[in-house]
Chain A
Amino acid sequence: MFCGVKGETMDVITAFLLTFPIVFVISLLFDGIDRKIHARMQRRVGPPIIQPFYDFIKLLNKERIVPAMASSQIFTVLPTLAAASSILSSAILFTSVMSGTSFGGDLVVVFYLLAMSSVLVTIGGSSSGNPYGAIGFSRKMTMLIAYEVPLLLSFLSVFLKINSTSYYNAILTQVKVGSMLALAFPSMAVSAVAFLLCIPAAADAVPFDVSEAKTEIIYGPLVEYSGPYLALFKLAKASSNLSLTFLACTLFFYLPALFGDGDSLWLGAFIVCLLLALILWFLTITVPRTVFARMKVGQAFKFYWIVALPLSVIAVVLSALGL
């Protein structure tokens, strides 16, 4: 099942278990850095970098309220599931990079887990019995159709290029070529652009946050969630952002590949990738959410189907042609 080159099974399991606290800390930390940079770009002092940890602990210790109108079981189970699936997606990616192991089709699994966590949030919102939750649900579904298709096509072009659906093979390919995937092949460059364009929508960042739209439909799906449930959703969002950016930087911009194969520096490679993920987070989430105002649902949808979708189709075609 494993197609690793370096990892022993025990090492892989240890690395996998180790990733959960790492994902928790790193995703909240990156969220804090994001808020700090956002504040600095607006010429504010901004909250401390560990602010998300304060928020998380505070929310965990607040009262939990389940509205009388909500279907209570769905409402209470979904936050845990959403957090679990997005943390798992980051954990799979981290384990691959740290232990040099992966299993066939793990990219597909990660793709599903990421989509899953955003779908679960919206289903939770629609089960709350609040009309804003229902509006958020319909808007999120529209956005899912808008960005998941280009995202999936972008994955597909990578699969065609590396002839495999396994994550570590993508990294191995870059090590073998001795260059980043996005620099080595024109098809991958186009695919990377499409992927990066999809990140703000997948992260519900401001120009595309139509489903949460704080000032318009008061956080949409999250409107009725309080206390620990909200904390779990915040964690789910932060770690899904982390896994999106980490995936983008390792899939297309695996920097350690430029310095030969990373056999001796697996931890170093991991840290370089994390820093790169932070830079991508800044470029694809922080900058758009500071610079742009929110789009309407139709505009956001149009953007993805007019700009990102053709790009990803071109990437698939180029990749199928072997470029």
Chain B
Amino acid sequence: MGIVARSRVKSPWIFHLNTGSCAGCDIEIVAALTPRYDAERLGCVLVGSPRHADVLLVTGPVTRQMLPRFIRVYEQVPEPKVVVAVGTCASSGSPFLGGQMVEGPVDKIVPVDVYVVGCPPRPEAIVKGIVTAVKKRFG
């Protein structure tokens, strides 16, 4: 692995975007960053601005209100970037699939690298999803 690829794998900065989730997944993402699961040991840092991010963690089944904002945030993340769909809503849209106000799931709108399923997924699964995504893309 080259030094650039290695650096990319070792330093995934996360931006978390809620596209209409119930906040269950979001709480689990926050839990993955707490001292107990300590995602920072793998170099993950939660950043507040999409401009700093490498990994876009998307939760929720992309509601109609969120669609233009979601695309805008996706475009604000500088290349190379990775998208991880967190939760069953984001991965497949289930129970909301086909709903009146639902435009998702996420992979209908942007390319998704890794799906982390579960309602909500466990923090370990989210950390593993992030690591798998960066390894798959850059490693």
Known: A46-B41, A218-B48, A219-B48. A63 touches B11 (CB 8 A): no
Known: A223-B49, A224-B51. A61 touches B40 (CB 8 A): no
Interface size class of A (residues with CB under 8 A): 20 to 34
Residues of B within 8 A of A (CB): 3-4, 6-8, 10-11, 35, 38, 40-43, 47-49, 51-52, 54, 76, 78-80
Interchain CB contact under 8 A, A44 and B79: no
Cβ proximity bits A60-95 to B, threshold 8 Å, 1 near / 0 not: 011111000000000000000000000000000000
The SS class assigned to the A binding surface is loop
> In the complex the two chains form, what is the Cα distance from A176 to B70 in whole Å?
65
Residues of A within 8 A of B (CB): 35, 39, 42-48, 51, 53-58, 61-65, 214-215, 218-219, 222-227, 230
Q: Which 5 A-B pairs have the closest CB atoms?
A: A218-B48, A63-B78, A57-B7, A226-B51, A45-B41
> In the complex the two chains form, what is the Cα distance from A56 to B10 in whole Å?
11
Chain A residue at minimum C-beta to C-beta distance from B53:
A226
Interchain CB contact under 8 A, A219 and B52: yes
Which residues of the other chain, B, contact A56 by a CB distance below 8 angstroms? 7
Interchain CB contact under 8 A, B54 and A58: yes
> In the complex the two chains form, what is the Cα distance from A305 to B94 in whole Å?
57
Interchain CB contact under 8 A, A58 and B4: yes
Interchain CB contact under 8 A, A39 and B40: yes
Interchain CB contact under 8 A, A62 and B43: no
Known: A218-B49, A219-B49, A224-B49. A54 touches B43 (CB 8 A): yes
Q: Report the minimal beta-carbon distance from A217 to chain B, rounded to whole angstroms.
A: 9
